Amino acid sequence: MFNGLGHLFRLIGLARLLARCDALVLAERFGASPGVLAAARLLARLPGGPHPKPGTRPGERIAQALTAAGPTFIKLGQSLATRADLLGEEIADDLAFLQDRLAPFPGAAARAAIEAELGKPVSELFASFDDTPVAAASIAQVHLAVTTEGEEVAVKVLRPGIEEAFARDLDMLAWAAAAIERTRPGTRRLKPREVVATLARVVEVEMDLRLEAAAACELAGNFKGDTSFRVPHVDWTRTARRVMTLERISGIPMDQRGRLVAAGHDPDEVLKKAATAFFNQVFRDGFFHADLHPGNMFVGPDGNLVVVDFGIMGRLDAPTRRYLAEMLLGFLQADYRRVADVHFEAGYVPADQPRDLFMQACRAIAEPILGRPMNEISVARLLAQLFRVTEQFQMETQPQLLLLQKTMMVAEGVGRRLNPNVNMWELARPLIESWVRDNLGPEARIARGAQDFVSGLERLPGFLTNVDKAVRALAEQGYRLHPDTVRRLLGEDGKGGNGGRGAVLWVIAGLLALILATLLTGRP
C-alpha cells in the first residue's frame, strides 16, 4: 500500500513536469486517469520547473520534459522513439533525436569507481587521468586517459548509484503500467507493460559495460579487413562491469558538413561509406549499431568512419533479413502482391486476415512515399507507416524491426545533413542488388533447400533412436489405465454403449499423442 502511494505521488510529479512543458499528450496517450491529469495541471501552476520553449512541436516538448525528469526517462523517450504506432510519426521522429546528456559527476567519484572495480589505484592503471569528462550521459560518462604503457584511451564509468535509481523508476513505471491496463482496458492495445519491460531489458544491458565491450569486439570482428569502418580496440585488462576502457579516437562528428569540407573530406564519399557500412551490418551480419546519432559517428583524419558507444545493438536472424529484403524489394518494384505474400509466409500476419485488403493497405502507404523524388524517399518512414497499418491486421509487434526502423530514421537524418540531394539507399543500391541476387535468387533457394535436406538427414539418427525407445517402452511397459477408467469407458454393465465406444476413441487418440511425445522427446 505504502509503495503504491509513493509511486502515485511520483507519477503525479512526473505528470506535473509534463504539464509544465505542455507535454501532457504523452500521459494522455498512455491512459493516465483524469484525476492524475487534473492534479498535474493544478500543480503545474506552482513555481519551479522548466517552461516549454516557444514554437516547439509536441515531440520536442516531450523530449524537454523527459530530459528534466532524469536518466530513466531519457531512456524511456529513446525507447518510445521506435513506437510510432503508439505516439504518431511526428512525435516518434522528434524523440529519435532526444539527446542523452546530463551534468557530469565529479572526477573523484569516477576514480573511486575505477579503483573499486579494477582493484588497483588509478595511478597504477593510468599514467594520466583527466578528471573532467569529455561526455556525460544518463548512465555513464567518459574520461580521457593515458595507460601506463603509453596508450591514449577513453574510460567509460557508470554513474554512482545509477542502478538503484533506475530500479526505483522502473518499479514505478511497471506499477503505473499495470494500474493503467487494469483500470483502463482500452489502453491494453498500447501494451504499456511491454513498453516498460523493453526499457528494463535495454537498461540492464547498458549497465554492464562488459556486455558493451563484447558488442564492440563483435562489431569490430565483422568489419575485420575493412578500413572504411572502424571500431575502437577494447582494453579488457581495464574493463569490468562498471568500467570500460577503449582506444581513444579522433575525428569530426559525421553531421558537421562544413568541418568535413574544410578538412578536405568529400561528404558524398562519407555518405556512401556510411550507407555501405549500415547495409553490411543489417543484411550481411545481422548485427547492427542501433544508436547511430551524430555524437556516436565520426570521420577520422583518413576519411574513414569510426563509431563509439555500443550499449544499444540490434540483431536480425537470417529469416528476418530475407523477409525484410523481399519486402523492401517488393515495395521498390511496386509488387504489392509480393509484399503481402511475404508477410503471410513469414507468419507475421495471421492466415485468417484478408490478403487482398492487406495488399491494398500496403499500396496505400507506399505510393505517397515512393512517388516522391529519389532524394526524398525515406525507407524508415515507409517501415514506420507499415508497422502502423499492420496492427490493424493483428500483426504482432516485432521489436527487432522497430529498433531497425528507429536506427534507419536517425541514419537518414544524418545523411540529409551531409547532402540533402542524395539518397543514402540509392548509394547502397549495388550492394542491395547483389545481396538480393545471392540470397533470394533461384540458386540461393536451391542451396537453402539442400541445407535443409542435409539438416534433416543429420537429425534422422536421433529420430530413429527415439522411435526405437518408444517401441521398446511400449513392448516392455505398455501404457497402463486405471481400472476405474476402464469401467467408465466400457459402461457399468461391462458391455459399453455408443458413449463408451466414443470415449475409447478419445483414449486411443490420447495414447497416440503420448506415443508422438515419446518419439519427439525420447522420454518413455
Contact (CB, 8 A) for 81 and 63: no
Cite the active site residues.
291
Contact (CB, 8 A) for 86 and 80: yes
Predicted pLDDT at 403 = 82
Q: 226: which residues sit within 8 A by CB, 6+ positions away?
A: 280
Mean pLDDT of the chain: 81
CB 470: neighbour CB atoms within 10 A?
Answer: 21
Question: Cell numbers at residue 59, please?
Answer: 515531440
Measure the CA–CA gap between 72 and 57, rounded to whole angstroms: 22
Q: Look at residue 477 and tell me whether its pLDDT is greater than 50.
A: yes
Predicted pLDDT at 425 = 78
Taking Cα atoms as reference points, which of 311, 231, 340, 246 lies closest to residue 277?
A: 231
Predicted pLDDT at 109 = 96
Per residue in 423-434, pLDDT tens?
887 777 788 778
Measure the CA–CA gap between 404 and 382, rounded to whole angstroms: 12
Predicted pLDDT at 129 = 97
Taking Cα atoms as reference points, which of 95, 105, 51, 45 lies closest to residue 73?
A: 95
Q: 85: which residues sit within 8 A by CB, 6+ positions away?
A: 387, 388, 391, 397
Per residue in 99-139, pLDDT tens?
777 889 999 999 999 999 999 999 999 999 999 999 998 89
Measure the CA–CA gap between 180 and 172, rounded to whole angstroms: 12
Per residue in 217-226, pLDDT tens?
999 999 999 9
Q: How confident is the model at residue 386 (pLDDT cuts 50, 70, 90)?
A: confident
Q: 306: which residues sit within 8 A by CB, 6+ positions away?
A: 230, 231, 232, 249, 251, 297, 298, 299, 300
Q: What angle do CA 11, 16, 17 make, to 5 degrees?
A: 100
Predicted pLDDT at 459 = 65
**End-to-end alpha carbon distance in the chain:** 49
Contact (CB, 8 A) for 71 and 159: yes
Q: How confident is the model at residue 249 (pLDDT cuts 50, 70, 90)?
A: very high
| One-letter-per-residue 3-state SS of 17-61 | HHHHCCCCHHHHHCCCCHHHHHHHHHHCCCCCCCCCCCCCCHHHH
Determine if residue 498 is left, alpha or beta; phi over 0 gives left, psi from -120 to 50 gives alpha, anything else beta: alpha
How distant, in Å, are the alpha carbons of 71, 154, 155, 410 from that of 135?
15, 10, 11, 20
Per residue in 441-467, pLDDT tens?
655 555 545 555 555 556 656 656 665
Q: Look at residue 501 and tell me whether its pLDDT is greater than 50.
A: no
On the CB side of 19, CA atoms within 13 Å amount to 20
Q: Look at residue 269 and tell me whether its pLDDT is greater than 90.
A: yes
Predicted pLDDT at 511 = 46
Mean pLDDT, rounded, for 314-336: 87
| Amino acid in the structure at residue 71 | P
Question: Cell numbers at residue 501, please?
Answer: 465406444
| Amino acid in the structure at residue 280 | N
Can you spell out the DSSP letters for 107-166? Answer: HHHHHHHHHHHHSS-HHHHEEEE-SS-SEE-SSEEEEEEEETTS-EEEEEEEPTTHHHHH
Lowest average pLDDT, out of 301-310, 338-347, 382-391, goes to 382-391
Predicted pLDDT at 267 = 92
Percent of the chain with pLDDT over 70: 81
Q: Look at residue 152 and tell me whether its pLDDT is greater than 90.
A: yes
Select the more confidently predicted residue: 374 or 241.
241
